[in-house]
């Protein structure tokens, strides 16, 4: 399997880190928001159930107070049928609190009833509610039961006592749990728009109010919230109801009757809102994530590019211009620059070692100076290191005449004489090359144009003022040029020095011309 390059590795690592971080953040945000929404929904349902329990308690107390007031008025008028009928009709129609109102005597015989269409006047009631009223002989609210009319109902009654304390009967109102009345309106108001609803259970866990009237009377103790509220607890919980629906329920008991009110919302409701919110978050986040990944791709390319160039050059380190190419690599950051310099030093060391093995290929056999190949290698090293340098090109004036007049042997002696003078005028780090015949090049690392010109002038004067092997002084002409770090390549600088040398020849020889870059380019 081929190894990944650094750019792809950086990109892959960053993308993986970004996606993992994004996924974790998104999941953590989702869970946090989900728990918060569920907790808010549970709290809202508990608050609503508590408020409805309070309102229902007040309603039941109010009905008991109405009946108790009427009971006090009826003690001396039980023998007045018209008055009794008027009172039950008033209670029935005054507030819609009751579905029916009736007055019974101590033997449970009906003295008056509203609505009169029930046809119960004069009859003796044997229902569970009537028996409970007669046995209790006090104010009470019955447990739900099926009355003689076939309705599931509860009876709220107030006892009627004579002035001497004798029990005379009850005035009572019935609330039909499966029909419209004030209690149903109270319990059913303000809930259900988002799937939430409220229901009421009696002390035995039987539904006495539900938005689905067909379920009234159903036993629901299998519901954990119902068991809790029937036991008198107030609170909230997440549960699966008897229909298998995930619900968030709040519950509160009634103080007057022991009934329990449960308000609940399908868990899917807040989660559905959360899903929409998270989807909207994604629409805002994903473009930013893509822009981030694009920026990472660009940065990874910038980071990897110098290393890729360095690796490619090292792969072809034996190429003629490897060091020159290394010098042109833009490192951009500290580690790449250090690596670049280390590679340069390493390649130079290798080339120096190889140079020792093939020194003859770099050295002029007559003078012992470097030849053109040595010159090229030295120039590449200077450019790779981005070191400034000056270059002096020179040749012997009228050297052909020396050879013709004195012979080639003395001509060679003149070349050796010039080599000795050049060594005497230069530093140990300077490079002297015989580039051909009587032509020479001197490389002066880290030396500016003025210093190089002064050195060249000293060399010219030594040659002009000292006897040569032929007896008479031999003169030279010189051209000097300067290369600043990283701005000029070797070909450009050598050409510049050659043009300066040409000017020195044109101006009469035995002179030095220092070139300025603008004069020639």
For the stretch 469-493, pLDDT in tens is 998 899 999 999 998 876 767 788 8
> What pLDDT does 318 receive?
61
Determine the Cα angle at 243 with ends 52 and 260, to 5°: 25
**What is the CB-side half-sphere exposure of residue 15 using CA atoms within 13 A?**
13
Is the predicted pLDDT of residue 452 greater than 60, yes or no?
yes
> What pLDDT does 129 receive?
84
- pLDDT 10s digits, 331-372: 666 766 777 677 767 666 666 665 564 556 778 889 989 999
Is the predicted pLDDT of residue 378 greater than 50, yes or no?
yes
Task: Enter the pTM of the model.
Answer: 0.55
> What pLDDT does 270 receive?
83
Phi and psi based region of residue 69 (left: phi greater than 0; alpha: psi -120 to 50; beta: remaining): alpha
Cβ(34)–Cβ(278) below 8 Å? no
> What pLDDT does 29 receive?
78
Is the predicted pLDDT of residue 217 greater than 50, yes or no?
yes
Alpha-carbon distances of 399 from 37, 469, 513, rounded to whole Å: 101, 13, 20
> What pLDDT does 363 receive?
87
Most confident of 8-12, 150-154, 266-270, 465-469: 465-469
- List the one residue out of 187, 244, 189, 177 whose CA is nearest residue 216: 177
Q: What is the mean pLDDT of residues 184-195?
A: 68
Alpha-carbon distances of 397 from 393, 464, 499, 511, rounded to whole Å: 13, 11, 16, 10
3-state secondary structure 11-26: HHHHHHHHHHHHHHHH
How far apart are alpha carbons 328 and 149 in whole angstroms?
105
Better-scored residue on pLDDT, 481 or 185: 481
- List the one residue out of 166, 183, 129 whose CA is nearest residue 151: 129
Q: What is the mean pLDDT of residues 91-102?
A: 88
Residue 125 DSSP code: P
- pLDDT 10s digits, 394-440: 999 999 999 999 999 999 999 999 999 999 999 999 999 999 889 99
Confidence of residue 182 (pLDDT cuts 50, 70, 90): confident
**DSSP sequence for 323-391:** HHHHHH----SHHHHHHHHHHHHHHHHHHHHHHHHTHHHHB-TTT--B-HHHHHHHHHHHHHTT--EEE
Confidence of residue 166 (pLDDT cuts 50, 70, 90): very high
Torsion over CA of 378, 383, 387 and 391, rounded to 10 degrees? 60
Q: What is the mean pLDDT of residues 211-217?
A: 85
Residue 2's SS3 state is coil
Q: What are phi and psi of 316, to 5 degrees?
A: -115, 45
Residue for token digits 């009757």? Answer: 257
How far apart are alpha carbons 347 and 24 in whole angstroms?
48
| 258 contact partners, CB below 8 Å, separation of at least 6 | 202, 203, 230, 232
The tokens describing 221, both together, are: 């103790």
Q: Burial letters for 354-384: b for 16+ Cβ neighbours within 10 Å, e otherwise?
A: ebeeeeeebbbeebebbbeebbbbbbbbbbb
Q: What is the mean pLDDT of residues 226-238?
A: 94
Alpha-carbon distances of 153 from 130, 180, 214, 215, rounded to whole Å: 12, 12, 14, 14
Is the predicted pLDDT of residue 278 greater than 80, yes or no?
no
- List the one residue out of 267, 270, 232 whose CA is nearest residue 251: 232
> What pLDDT does 520 receive?
40
Is the predicted pLDDT of residue 32 greater than 50, yes or no?
yes
- List the one residue out of 220, 76, 208 whose CA is nearest residue 154: 208
Confidence of residue 519 (pLDDT cuts 50, 70, 90): very low
Alpha-carbon distances of 388 from 87, 120, 344, 385, 488, rounded to whole Å: 120, 124, 16, 9, 9
Q: What is the mean pLDDT of residues 279-285?
A: 73
Is the predicted pLDDT of residue 145 greater than 50, yes or no?
yes
Is the predicted pLDDT of residue 320 greater than 80, yes or no?
no
Is the predicted pLDDT of residue 92 greater than 80, yes or no?
yes
- List the one residue out of 157, 155, 164 whose CA is nearest residue 70: 157
Q: Domains, the chain, ranges and CATH?
A: 42-174 (3.30.450.20), 182-270 (3.30.450.20), 363-520 (3.30.70.270)
> What pLDDT does 347 receive?
67
Cβ(478)–Cβ(466) below 8 Å? no
Better-scored residue on pLDDT, 143 or 518: 143
> What pLDDT does 355 receive?
55
- pLDDT 10s digits, 199-210: 999 999 999 888
> What pLDDT does 403 receive?
92
Confidence of residue 309 (pLDDT cuts 50, 70, 90): low
Cβ(484)–Cβ(388) below 8 Å? yes
Mean pLDDT of the chain: 85
């Amino acid at each position: 399997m081929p190894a990944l390059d650094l750019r792809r590795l950086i990109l892959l690592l960053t993308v993986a880190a970004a996606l993992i971080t994004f996924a974790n953040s998104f999941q953590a945000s989702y869970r946090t928001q989900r728990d918060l929404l569920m907790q808010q929904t549970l709290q809202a349902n508990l608050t609503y159930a508590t408020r409805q329990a309070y309102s229902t308690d007040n309603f039941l107390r109010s009905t008991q107070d109405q009946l108790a007031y009427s009971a006090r008025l009826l003690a001396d008028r039980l023998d007045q049928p018209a008055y009794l009928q008027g009172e039950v009709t008033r209670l029935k129609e005054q507030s819609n609190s009751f579905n029916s109102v009736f007055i019974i005597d101590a033997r449970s015989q009906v003295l008056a009833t509203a609505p009169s269409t029930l046809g119960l006047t004069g009859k003796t009631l044997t229902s569970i509610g009537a028996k409970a009223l007669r046995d209790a002989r006090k104010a009470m609210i019955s447990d739900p039961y099926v009355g003689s009319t076939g309705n599931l109902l509860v009876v709220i009654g107030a006892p009627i006592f004579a002035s001497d304390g004798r029990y005379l009967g009850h005035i009572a109102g019935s609330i039909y749990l499966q029909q419209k009345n004030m209690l149903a309106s109270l319990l059913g108001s303000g809930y259900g728009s988002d799937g939430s609803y409220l229901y009421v259970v009696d002390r035995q866990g039987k539904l006495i109010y539900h938005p689905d009237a067909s379920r009234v009377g159903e036993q629901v103790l299998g519901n954990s919230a119902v068991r809790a509220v029937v036991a008198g607890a107030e609170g909230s919980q997440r549960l699966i109801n008897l229909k298998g629906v995930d619900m968030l329920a709040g519950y509160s008991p009634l103080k007057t009757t022991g009934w329990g009110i449960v308000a609940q919302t399908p868990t899917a409701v807040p989660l559905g809102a959360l899903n929409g919110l998270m989807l909207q978050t994604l629409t805002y986040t994903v473009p930013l994530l893509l822009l981030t990944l694009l920026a990472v791709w660009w940065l990874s390319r910038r980071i990897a590019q110098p290393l890729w160039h360095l690796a490619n050059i090292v792969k072809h380190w034996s190429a003629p211009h490897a060091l020159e190419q290394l010098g042109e690599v833009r490192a951009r950051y500290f580690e790449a620059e250090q690596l670049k310099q280390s590679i340069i030093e390493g390649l130079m060391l290798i080339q120096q070692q190889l140079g020792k093995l093939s020194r003859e290929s770099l050295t002029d056999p007559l003078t012992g100076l470097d030849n053109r190949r040595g010159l090229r290698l030295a120039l590449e090293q200077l450019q790779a290191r981005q070191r400034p340098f000056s270059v002096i090109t020179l040749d012997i004036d009228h050297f052909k005449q020396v050879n013709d007049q004195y012979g080639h042997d003395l001509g060679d002696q003149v070349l050796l004489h010039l080599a000795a003078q050049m060594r005497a005028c230069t530093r140990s780090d300077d490079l002297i090359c015989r580039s051909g015949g009587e032509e020479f090049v001197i490389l002066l690392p880290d030396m500016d144009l003025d210093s190089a010109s002064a050195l060249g002038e000293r060399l010219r004067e030594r040659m002009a003022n000292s006897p040569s092997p032929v007896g008479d002084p031999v003169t030279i002409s010189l051209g000097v040029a300067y290369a600043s770090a990283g701005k000029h390549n070797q070909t450009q600088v050598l050409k510049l020095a050659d043009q300066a040398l040409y000017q020195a020849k044109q101006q009469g020889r035995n002179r030095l011309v220092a070139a300025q870059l603008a004069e020639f380019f």
